[in-house]
Chains A and B, each alone.
Chain A
Amino acid sequence: MQNRRQFLRSSSALIALPFLESFASSKSMVEAPKRVIFLGTGFGVTQRGWYPKQDDTGYDYELQDAFKPIAKLKKDFTIFQNLEHQHSRDGHSGSTFWLTGADRFAMPGQSFHNTISVDQAAANEFGKHTRYNSMVLFGAGNSASTGHGSGSISWNRQGKPIMGMPNPVAMYHKLFSADNMPLEQRKVLLKDNRSALDTVLLSAKSMRKRVTKTDKDKVDEYFDSIRELENRISKDEKWLEVPKKKPSRKLIEPSVSLEGAPEIEAAYDLMLAAMEVDACRVFSYQLPGDTFMTSIGSSFTAHAISHHNGSNDERTRDSILKDSSHLKLVGKFIEKMKKTRDVDGRSIFDNTTLVLGSNLRVKHTLDNCPTFVTGGGSGFKHGRHIVMDKKTPLCNLWLSILKGSGIQTNSFGDSTGVIKELFYA
């Protein structure tokens, strides 16, 4: 362990990090877009079933029970240990700060604060090329007892939560439903929406004149929201005359009654379809909790499962079942992505980075966040169990994904640098 790490340190000191683009399209003529997918489990995982032994690292390591369903994909993914957010101490928020790493107490006098999430940082860049900047999906509703925490998994530039779609059906319609309204009428509608925003802005402006400094920040929140909607309209106008594309394979509209595992499977299929036609490149998903437990045959709620005692009781067994069922679904998703050809002749999987994890480890513990990474989109070398130094910022991984996917930035959240190991075999 020590030796490998020392080696890496010394080697990285000598060799500058390779340019990321060179990974992506060294052979192909057409450059394929990079995509990122973040799947949040909300509550944490089962210590015993998830984490490999800490002294069993590198390529030749033993997978624990939860990983059995995807053991044959071992060379395609990386399991991390010891990544965490230094500021996150909120034992009920598995997703609130997971992709942001923010300090909720950063603003004196405020009891809640958040910053942009990594998916949105990617969306701000990748979204320039696609109809939709990002797809945010709430599989667990918006209640606080899902382990996901309050707000959202995705946070915008202002640190405000982004509301997700309630189910795969909504996602299907957004991505693929043809708009039956005649073009002219749609143009009129967008124009009308724009003028509606202008109208409420008049009211906001008059309020802004009346209030003092602190309250101005609140009114500005309102202004920012309206501005964002205006941007959305501008984008809609830009894409107005481009028809929505559908993948050539048959695509079935998911049923609204899907719950739990089949719901997740439908969502993954839609993500793949969206990537195939390049409608969107950024996806984040608050995975279902209670309904997921029911769908895999457990009778406990997600919260009850998170309080398993770690011995061999029923809740612990169901907790491992939960972890392995999630991985099984991701495994299927990986297989499908691998089979789908991308524009550069490689597979969608080769151009995508997918993370499954949570800000919570077990119960209310927030260190050593469970982190599973797969896909070739960031140029990562997979197949390892990597145990980082204790308290390595999770944001280092987020930064590595951003940079690895071609986004020019040198920091994200509380990052201290990229995880160099990921770029070397």
Chain B
Amino acid sequence: MIFRKIVKVFWSCTLLTSANSVLSDDAIMPKKHLKVLEKYCFDCHDTDTQKGKLDLETLSFNMTKDIPTAEHWQNILDSINSGEMPPEKKKQISPEEKTALLRDLSIQMVRARDILSDNGGEITMRRMNRREYTNSMESLLGFKPDVRELPTDDGSFKFDTYGNSLFFSSDQFELYRKIAQVNLRTAMKGFKKKPKSEKKHIEPEFELIHTFLEVAKSNAEHLEKGQAFLRLPKSEQTIETAKKMGYDDVPHILKRFTNGPGGYARAADYLKRPEAATGAVMVHYNWKRTLKYNPVIIPADKNRAGGKYILRIRAGSYDYAPERERYLNYSFKAGKNQFHNKGFVKVEGTIEKPQIIEVEIEKDFGMTAPLEILHRMYDDYKSQKYAFEKAQKENGFGSQPAVWVDWVELEGPYFDEWPLKEQSSLILTQNDGESEEVYAKRMISGFATKAFRGQQPDQEFLKSLVWRYLSKSEGGKEKVDALVDVYSLVLASPDFIYICEPREGERTAEMDQREFAVRLSYFLWSSPPDQELLNLAKEGKLYDEGILSAQTTRLLTDARSNNFISGFTHQWLDMKRLDQFDFPAEFNPGFDDTIRESARQEVYQTIRYLLDNKQPMSKLLKADFVIVNNVMADYYGLSGVSGTDFSKVSVPESSPRGGLLGMAAIHLMGSDGLRTSPVERGSWVLRHLLDDPPPPAPANVPQLERLENEVLSTRQMLKAHQEEAQCAQCHQKIDPIGFAMENFTAAGLWRTQETIRVEEHVKGKKKLSYKNHTFDIDPSGKLPGGKDFSDYFGLRDAVAKREKAFAMGFSKALIAYSLGRPYNISDHNFATSVTNKAESQGNDLGSFLHALVQSKQFRSK
């Protein structure tokens, strides 16, 4: 009871401080805490003693006074959090005082850092990040280069557009030059002759799975022989008989036979199926992803040229196969565990009535990799083994095959145009009577201007490039090599690598329109501006409200805007965590990387849908529809979706799906692959939906070891957290949100009970045994400063009501991403105006973006 009261008091002070934050320019520690410091800390840290050079008596309560002051407060925060202060032998701070002190201190600390790092909105010139670099290269070459060698820029900062955080090193220079050389060569040499389009038809029973068939046949033989051997009277089961049957001795035949009866039985089963004679039964021979054990179909050798291909598969699913397994995966295998352009198809036809599935796939230029087709299976060895052995235990056989493939056809490559217009502008034709020098200058200058997004190269630089070209091309004989050399220098020079918006003085100024076009297109496309945008800039028309609005709409309907949706959303919603854990099938049956990928796409595609259909952003908080493909529909148990494309499916009010809170991606991010983490989920909601981020988790907090061997529900375990004053101050706010999401498993499926698997160590037994403990889920909770709710639906409604806060948080993220610098406290009015403008226009994603690009700030440098 007492506890609750205190909590309420704290919330009211949080509200007060956050209200103050708009007015005050400083992070101020409330004076009332002086008493606590006096009582517990002054013994050692007053002006007289100053132990550890810390004098709390004179330390300013204005944490933003200067950096040393902020550092002092950070140290105080750290040492109280870690339990180091007050020292063990000294009087300890009471839990109430400690919670209150730490709450204010951690909140003000975040503010202090923000204020001290507020540089008044100054935008630093920035290097292109890896995404932008790839797209910029694509705009010049016509295809995306392989950039895996470059650093990812997904380091420890919020957005990969922050100029300050995008460093440059000598290694990078060399990589830029090398990547440019390799890909320019592909572009100029590989495109001299158009690759012939070919159709390759494969009947797998004759061609590609013969390795597998041989193994299957030999295994079936072993099985037969072994059985025959065992049928003999005991007296005849001798070494001589074994030798006659082709084995070394009796153990040999028994070993061959008994080692894997399941495997041999499967081989025999395979050959018995009549459809195996006319196609490939996609059997789970065992859990290994190798040609020898699984019928992998490879319809194209690795050297086929890059471009578009049509893949046709005639296949059917067995009637007994579960929905989840009726899929075929395809990918280009570029190396050990390296797969590109992964995709999948669902086989809706049956064995009696197979269907022909047709998909368009793309092979990257310059990549050597064969195309592989394989049945859908778990991605990690352990899960594959687990699923297989589980099935084997049940049926003595192992996983049943789900799909049969009659034939496969691959046709291509196709090209929308040939030669690609990008490539034809790389080498120009020499005019009659044009000197080598003039010709080279025209070509290099044109290329550089395009690479520099409409800006002419420096004349000295150009001269030097032309000289280099002339000395290398030897009168035109080595033209391509010489061009590769000079172009690659253009693509490693600062005017290409950096997005530069030079100013006259130190003051902010309005950008010129070319610079504006560049900023706009890197914002909405993560790619350089196209000719239309550059032309409008040249004509000085881009600052016209109507024209800018029309251009913004055009950019947002272009396919390149998907770069913005995925690039921005991934970072805005901290989706990095989606890839950080394994989800063993043992704990998450049915979950695999196909779902992980589709779950990620569900988030992006939902935003795409909202953008295209002018739906309010608040639909992300609660909606009566979901945007899913067949994989997600199968996973969620929804019907009415066929095909791998994402489409809209209505869901009733009683469905937990609809809105981010119901998306598997969000639940996956809020777990560690084994158990759910209400802390991660709660913090995520506060951070991304409620614009009320909790302070960063303090480092070095002592672990709760008291509970180490107890079997507790996740909720019970976290309740214990709240006993510690250091933890309570934040977890009281975070955890109740996460509790309401406990109805979702670690992998995002709905549940009403939590099952925890605990290892049991039985004495004398080497093999581990497990015991399941089950707890009913208590999803009740509350939002900070809000009313209690009893379940997940209550949480969803409560969050949906705070759409204003959500919109504000969204504006802040957009500002930071688009301007390439962290959101500053001094941006408050700017964010408010974007939010209000968007609201007056219908609150859809487009309105936010229009409001932002029309703002004065967006055209300032």
Contact = CB atoms under 8 A, between A and B. Distances in A.
A310 B502 CA distance: 54
A404 B170 CA distance: 30
Given A109-B119, A143-B152, A312-B759, A160 B464 contact: no
Given A150-B156, A225-B169, A301 B67 contact: no
A interface, by DSSP: helix, strand, loop or mixed? loop
B502 A212 contact: yes
B478 to A, nearest CB: 14
B519 to A, nearest CB: 15
A367 B82 CA distance: 10
Interface stretch (A15-23, A73-81, A197-205, A241-249): A197-205
B151 A161 contact: yes
B316 interface: no
B673 interface: yes
B154 interface: yes
A222 B168 contact: yes
Given A163-B172, A199-B465, A211 B458 contact: no
A144 B169 contact: no
Interface in A242-264: 257, 259
Contact of B493 (A89, A200, A228): A200
A210 B500 contact: yes
A204 B169 contact: no
Interface string A225-237: 1101100100000
Interface stretch (A34-42, A124-132, A213-221): A213-221
A310 B155 contact: no
Nearest to A143: B152
Nearest to A300: B582
A108 interface: yes
B640 to A, nearest CB: 36
B171 A162 contact: yes
Interface stretch (A55-63, A64-72, A90-98, A350-358): A90-98
A311 B708 contact: yes
Q: How large is the interface on B (under 10, 10 to 19, 20 to 34, 35 or more residues)?
A: 35 or more
Interface stretch (B157-165, B227-235, B246-254): B157-165
A148 B60 CA distance: 37
A212 B699 contact: no
A365 interface: yes
Contacts of A390: 84
Nearest to A366: B699
A229 B493 contact: no
Nearest to B75: A86
Given A145-B580, A303-B581, A215 B155 contact: no
Interface residues of A, number: 73
A299 interface: yes
B500 A211 contact: yes
Contact of B155 (A150, A205, A224, A259): A150
A301 B155 CA distance: 19
Nearest to A160: B169
B112 to A, nearest CB: 11
B761 A229 contact: no
Given A151-B151, A195-B468, A228-B170, A200 B489 contact: yes
B173 A226 contact: yes
A333 B164 CA distance: 41
B699 A160 contact: no
A313 interface: yes
B26 interface: no
Contacts of B126: 218
B377 to A, nearest CB: 15
B458 A203 contact: yes
Interface string B700-714: 100101001100000
Contacts of A365: 699-700
Nearest to A301: B582
Nearest to B153: A150
Contacts of A229: 170, 173-174
Contacts of B406: none
A149 interface: yes
A203 B458 CA distance: 6
A336 interface: no
A113 to B, nearest CB: 9
Contacts of B460: 202, 205-206
B461 interface: yes
A207 interface: yes
A144 B458 contact: no
Interface in A176-208: 195-196, 198-200, 202-207
**Which interface residue of A93, A156, A222, A364 has the most chain B CB atoms within 10 A?**
A222
B117 interface: yes
B506 interface: yes
B536 interface: no
Interface in A92-124: 92-93, 96, 104-105, 108-112
Interface in B405-460: 457-458, 460
B452 to A, nearest CB: 9
B791 interface: no
Interface string B456-500: 011011001100100000000000000001000100111101101
A151 B165 CA distance: 11
Nearest to A109: B119
Contacts of A215: 124-125, 500, 502
Nearest to B759: A313
Nearest to A291: B337
Contacts of A112: 155-157, 164-165
A64 B580 CA distance: 29
A29 to B, nearest CB: 39
Contact of A218 (B84, B498, B822): B498
B579 interface: yes
Nearest to B67: A108
B372 interface: no
Given A149-B156, A202-B458, A214-B122, A108 B116 contact: yes
B765 to A, nearest CB: 15
Contacts of A203: 457-458, 461, 493-495
A124 to B, nearest CB: 15
A163 B169 contact: yes
Nearest to B122: A214
Contact of B709 (A214, A224, A311): A311
B167 A160 contact: yes
A108 B151 CA distance: 25
Contacts of A335: none
A307 interface: yes
Interface of B: 67, 78, 82, 84, 113, 116-119, 122, 124-127, 149, 151-152, 154-158, 162-165, 167-175, 177, 336, 380-382, 457-458, 460-461, 464-465, 468, 485, 489, 492-495, 497-498, 500, 502-503, 505-506, 576, 579-582, 584, 672-673, 696-697, 699-700, 703, 705, 708-709, 759, 761, 822
Given A111-B822, A156-B169, 4 more contacts: A112-B157, A196-B489, A304-B673, A311-B708
Q: Across chains A and B, which 9 residue pairs bring their CB atoms closest together, nearest first?
A: A150-B155, A163-B171, A299-B382, A206-B458, A109-B119, A215-B125, A210-B502, A225-B170, A203-B493
17 contacts: A90-B156, A92-B156, A109-B117, A109-B164, A111-B157, A111-B165, A112-B164, A144-B155, A163-B172, A199-B489, A200-B461, A202-B464, A207-B498, A218-B125, A222-B173, A226-B170, A229-B174
